[in-house]
Structure 1
Amino acid sequence: MANITETIPNDTEIEAMVTPRNKRSAEIIERKRQVKRRLDDYLEQAELRKNLDDELF
């Protein structure tokens, strides 16, 4: 029977995976983070509004 092991990357390896290789890549990554942050904020607000509406009725 085969012995399969999974390794979890350490912090250095993770950082190397997400570190941009040039200025354009850094801009793209930052833009994606900003969009994700805005989407998370929007979804959180929508959930709060829904919960408030449920409590009122």
Structure 2
Amino acid sequence: MARIIEVLPQDSEIEELTSPKNAQAANAMKHRREVKRRLDDYLERAELRKALGLENDEDF
């Protein structure tokens, strides 16, 4: 099973995320947030499946 490790962002990454300089940077920031949200949702569902004993159930 894969191990998930939380990594603290560097100061330069935080600065980039908080103040996009142009439309492309704003779109990249939006995309990163969407991907992170989907990953968080997936991990939450996986944790719930594990807690319920449904690890191999794809219908949940």
- Return the TM-score normalized by structure 2: 0.60
In proportion to residue count, which structure has more helix?
Answer: 1
Q: Percent identity?
A: 54
Task: Go from structure 1 to structure 2 and tell me whether the alpha carbon gap of 1:17 and 1:51 turns closer, same or farther (over 3 Å shift).
Answer: closer
Q: Structure 1 segments of 4 or more deviating over 6 A?
A: 14-17
Corresponding position of 2:29: 29
- Return the TM-score normalized by structure 1: 0.63
CA RMSD of aligned residues (A): 2.2
Gaps of 5+ in 2: 1-13, 55-60
